[in-house]
Structure 1
Amino acid sequence: MAGVNGRPLVIPALQQWTGGTGEFRLGGGSRVVSRDAPEQARRFAAELGVPYGDAGGDIVLALTQSGRGLESYRLEITPERVLVEAPGPAGLFYGTRSLLQILGEDGRAPVGVAEDWPNYPVRGYMLDVGRRFVTPAMIHRLIGLMGTFKLNELQLHLNDNEIKPPDGDWSRAVSAFRLRSDAFPGLAAAESYSRADWDGFEEAAAVHAVTIVPEIDAPAHARAFIAYEPSVGHDGGDSDHLDLANPAATKLVKEVFEEFVPWFRGPAAHFGADEYYQSKELWRRFFNEMAAHLRSLGKQPRAWGGFTRLSPTGDTTGFDPDVVINSWNNGFYGPEGAEGDAYPLINSNDDLLYIVPEADYYHGQGLDGAWLHEHWEPHVFAGGQSLAPDDPRLLGAMPALWNDLVHATYGEERMYELIEDTVGVLAQKMWSASTSGLPYAEFRGRAARALRVTTARPVPLQGFEPRTSAS
């Protein structure tokens, strides 16, 4: 039909669009209204620069019983009004992100109906703040960036150490634990997060429909624990490995989780469990104890995949089955190693999705956005070990920025730049596993525009609650 409006350009792209004719124009008399989600509506009105009202507005936010999950939404645009409806607050938020992009700088939106939903429940990013501190302001900024592109999980890697100590002396190694509590005096680094800081992260995440996944990493990468209590360290404390033959080591990690789990509002907590070489049997025992302990604290346990290389049998025999696994390296536990297993998987493949700023490995200058745009989807792993696109175990993907080079001179602004550079294309693939239909150069320009027009003012919002399950 002549004159029917084409699909608006949104990042990530709208799943379905039915075009009409004509356009909606945001005007001086426009108002945002909602009986169901007044706080969200107030915030959205502030972003648009229009008033909020109880009735009679031309932009309406409404909760509905229909939809494809709590993150789905529907936009109905007529010349007279825009209806944003969704089954839950997260979907409403995503609908407003798309509407902001559609309205752009001129306040015009084509008449039509959009139906949109994510194909993957996990659309994340991981940031290593253990090796290099990131200010609370930068965490807030990153959460806002993720919300703009409908990413929904931020994993914060809260403790770590340099990979090799100076002259082999672990007592001189840079290490840090980033949560500060009077219950563990001396454990936290000087640059660390207080309970008030963490509450601020959780509140900002709620505003942007993001769930924080805290990671406290053990029994390797554990130099901060050993510096705090040398008796729990392997090799008499000259190590970054806990001595799992000493029950006090696992006990300390459990106690740390007990102290900080009340801070964490999301459903999951990550206990690391990667690259431990003291004993395969002790590693299996630690894995199982920590998984059970986190469930006893009300959290779904997560861990880095390591079964292929670290388990006594080279597979998952004897391991707690109720753990969500980040598959980060094919040799440690990739799609071939996971064949026949039932563990829910998150694609964090190092060859494709790791950034180590300024390194000569793992994308030191940022991910290959053009390659990701043309070839990558969440089921794609390196080395030809991809899963089937519809594999029910695959929850989604989580790229990661690791600060391995603890003595390098870059700062948090560089980290943000490296993440921002390809976050749009990653979001596109994690939302629908499809391309945008644009050449990559044009796509990058559209992503920059999307970020510009959806930059939210810091208006408080209540109402979004973290998801209650991994799926």
Structure 2
Amino acid sequence: MDSTTSTTALSLTAISDEQRDGRPFTIPALQEWTPGPTDYVFNAQTRIVLDRRAASQLHATAVVFADDLYVLSGIRVPLTIGAVLREGDIFLTLDAGASITGHEGYLLESGSTLTLRASTDAGVFYATRTVLQLLTQDAIIPGGVARDWPDYPERSLMVDMGRKYFSVEWLENHIRELAYLKYNYFHFHLSDNYGFRLESERHPEIVSPEHYSKAELRSLLALAQKYHITIVPEIDMPGHMDTILAAHPTLQLTSPQGNRRSGDIDLAQDASYQLMRDLLEEYIPLFPGPYWHIGADEYIMQDDYERYPQLLEYAREHYGPEANIKDTYLGFVNWANEIVKAHGKITRAWNDGLYGGSAVQVANDIIFEHWFRSGLEPQEIVNLNLSIMNGNADHLYYVLGNNWRALPDGIYHAFEHHVFHGTATIDIYHPCNLGAKLHVWCDNPVLETEEEIAQGIACSLRSLAQKNWGSRKLVPDYERFLPIIARIGHAPGFTGQALGIHEETRHQQTSVSLAEAMMPPASNEQA
């Protein structure tokens, strides 16, 4: 045994000592665990058995589960409906009357068989993720009952695909990875100053050479649906539009002196609204999820508005003589929101500019993505009964080549959902607090490869997974969390690099490996 393996073994021993309630190792940790007398053993005759009464609702989840078990074990676990259970089977059922918290909660009962029970398909799906994590470590799952649920409804990752193109394979990997860690949202930031990444029939002139065809996007959306991941698309406007404006230079915000404002479209021109409407109308129907993110961040800067008097003229023409220059921007936000709502979706926007008007108030049905202390305080936002997502830039921003690195130990120890950027707080578990999101920003896209980014965010994703689920930590400090990360590894089907944190020792404490479990017993070939 080399020194690295020895160190990890000691760390795992320390975890066992610390894990006083006996919960199995998972990320995130289980909310509740009651030990039982009989362990479950995954074996070559294991079947996935669907409750006949719920077979249609659970079939898609069962197929994904079987596929992932195949990747994990090399054996195609058969799927059956309504069969009498035998040792080693995994039974999936829906039970609206069970003692389960929330629509994503579930019960996992481990004995001679496994029963995964929830009130919804989503709950059963998350139970299958727990089973995969446990089987990654050992073919034997301790006997007992887990009762598990998330404390926050949204658990999310955002990737800046506008500035840096990420391969379809990278995105597929992270759809699987997010689901494995019980995330449920993936925010695609599809346009920014260095790129517009969507195929377009209406405006092909704005599309970057590296982009996603609509067929590729539909494939990603289908994969995300299978893995219970909601894709939140964003085309950033009215700022961060350099790539779009390069093909429409007359729409770039320009002062009377001829100074052109980088990235910002001129909201005093009717043609600007027509271009933005074209984009919204083309792409909103492509995405089946309930949300559309309009961006709306960093348009001009507050002290620069006076340089563009046409914005004040527009505001007073459209919103009355008492309007101020900021009302033009806020009017855009409400205008875009109406288009989004006309498609049956809910608007999300970055928080930093959503304030300061005198004649226009931001619509009361927009979700505030709070990343920076600017404008309305979080408490003011929730006092208006508006939903808020915590994107605290001090903890949850991974910026290539920047001091903002979303440090996993900082997330594990210091980040709290009710504390926002600048230490502003709201009540713990406030009902308007949706959850938290890790952000990958590619301000200088060449500083890291996509493989380096995957490695750079891997542990941060796992720290935030624990915080977002809200269960008690298995271990109090990040150093002892690292061996748990190593044990659980990547999602089945993840094709990127290893985590790089003693992953070679993931299975060292297993009593029966999956490879051994998959060997048919010599004396009972027809079990």
TM-score class, shorter: 0.7 to 0.9
- The structure with the larger Rg is 2
- Give yes or no for contact 1:31–1:51 (8 Å, CA) kept in 2: yes
> Which SS does the other structure have where 2:37 is aligned?
strand
Encode CA deviations 1:146-205: one digit per residue, 9 max, x unaligned.
1110011111111111xxxxxxxxxxxxx2111102221212111111111111111111
Equivalent residue for 2:492?
Answer: 455
Amino acid in the other structure paired with 1:286: F
Unaligned runs of 5+ in 2: 1-19, 70-74, 306-324, 496-527
Spell out, residue by residue over 1:205-235, the C-alpha distance to the aligned partner (whole angstroms, 9 max, x if none): 1122110000011111111221222222111
**Runs of 4+ with >6 A deviation:** none
Q: Say if 1:5 and 1:111, in contact at 8 Å, map to a contact too.
A: no
Does the CA-based 8 Å contact 1:377-1:434 persist in structure 2?
no
Match for 2:164 among 120, 125, 132? 132
Aligned-partner Cα distance in 2 for 1:443–1:332: 37
**What is the DSSP-based 3-state SS (H/G/I as helix, E as strand, rest coil) of the residue aligned with 1:234?**
strand
- The offset of 1:421, in angstroms, is 2.2
Q: 1:327 to 1:238 in 2, by over 3 A?
A: closer
Structure 1 residue matching 2:374: 3-state secondary structure: helix
- Matched residue type, 1:385: A
1:7-27: per-residue Cα shift (whole Å, max 9, x none)?
212110111112112311112
Q: Is the 8 A contact 2:395 2:410 kept in 1?
A: no
Q: Helix, strand or coil for the counterpart of 1:42?
A: helix
Say if 1:31 and 1:53, in contact at 8 Å, map to a contact too.
Answer: yes
- State the match for 1:432 in structure 2: 470
Q: Counterpart of 2:109 in structure 1: which amino acid?
A: E
| Amino acid paired to 1:63 | L
Q: Which residue of 2 aligns with 1:293?
A: 339
For 1:149 and 1:5, the matched residues in 2 are separated by: 21
Report the TM-score when normalising by structure 2.
0.78
- Relative distance call for 1:421 and 1:390 in structure 2 (3 A) is closer
User: Does 1:388 find its partner at 2:432?
Assistant: no
Q: What CA distance in whole angstroms lies between the structure 1 residues aligned with 2:350 and 2:169?
A: 28
Q: Is the 8 A contact 2:331 2:360 kept in 1?
A: no
Distance in 1 between the 2:204 and 2:136 partners?
Answer: 50
Question: Which residue of 2 is the match for residue 464 of structure 1?
Answer: none
* 2:280 is the alignment partner of 1:257: yes
Deviation at 1:380, TM superposition (A): 2.1
1:190-209 equivalences under 5 Å are: 190-209=209-228
CA distance in 2, matches of 1:297, 1:197: 22
Residue in 2 that maps onto 1:8? 24
Question: Aligned partners of 2:161, 2:414: CA distance in 1, in Å?
Answer: 30
| Equivalent position of 1:312 in the other structure | 357
1:5–1:21 CA contact under 8 A, matched in 2:
no
Q: Note the C-alpha offset of 1:251.
A: 2.2
Tell me the equivalent position of 2:312.
Answer: none
SS at match of 1:104: helix
Find 2:371's aligned residue among 298, 322, 328.
328
- 2:64 is matched with 43
2:147 aligned counterpart, secondary structure: strand
User: Retained in 2: the 8 A contact 1:5–1:19?
Assistant: no
- CA deviations 1:62-86 (Å, max 9, x no partner) are 12224323211110112x2111112
- State whether residues 327 and 360 of structure 2, in contact with CA within 8 Å, keep that contact through their aligned partners in structure 1: no
Cα distance in structure 2, aligned partners of 1:188 and 1:64: 48
CA distance in 2, matches of 1:433, 1:234: 48
For residue 416 of structure 1, report the CA deviation from its aligned partner: 1.2
User: Which position in structure 2 is the counterpart of 1:56?
Assistant: 84
2:249 to 230, 243, 260: 230
Contact 2:299/2:353, CA 8 A, preserved across alignment: no
Q: Which residue of 1 aligns with 2:5?
A: none
Shift of the alpha carbon at 1:61? 1.1
Q: Report the CA distance between 1:307 and its aligned residue.
A: 4.5
Letter in 2 for 1:8: P
**Structure 1 Cα separation of the partners of residues 46 and 483 of structure 2:** 29
Displacement of 1:422 in angstroms is 1.3
> Structure 2: how far apart are the matches of 1:417 and 1:180?
29
Closer/same/farther in 2, CA of residues 307 and 230 from structure 1, 3 Å limit: closer
Matched, 1:248 2:271: yes
Q: 2:348 aligns with which of 302, 309, 312?
A: 302
Q: Distance in 2 between matches of 1:414 and 1:117?
A: 32
Q: Sort the Cα spacing of 1:451 and 1:204 in 2 relative to 1 into closer, same or farther, 3 A.
A: farther
CA RMSD of aligned residues (A): 2.2
Q: Structure 1: any 5+ residue segments left out of the alignment?
A: 162-174, 459-471
Is the contact between residue 321 and residue 343 of structure 1 (CA under 8 Å) also seen in structure 2?
yes
Aligned-partner Cα distance in 2 for 1:5–1:342? 38
2:327 alignment partner in structure 1 = 281
Structure 2 counterpart of 1:84: 116
Residue identity (%): 33
Give the direction of change, closer, same or farther, for the CA distance of 1:137–1:368 in structure 2 (3 Å limit).
same
Which 10-residue stretch deviates more, 98-107 or 416-425? 98-107
The partner residue of 1:346 within 389, 396, 415 is: 389
Give 1:149's match in structure 2, choosing from 168, 181, 189.
Answer: 181
Q: Return the letter of the residue paired with 1:379.
A: H
More displaced 10-residue stretch of structure 1: 120-129 or 378-387: 378-387
CA distance in 2, matches of 1:268, 1:260: 12
Give, as a single letter, the amino acid of the residue that structure 2 aligns with 1:387: I
Residue 290 (structure 2) aligns with: 267
Aligned length: 432
Secondary structure of 2:263 counterpart: coil
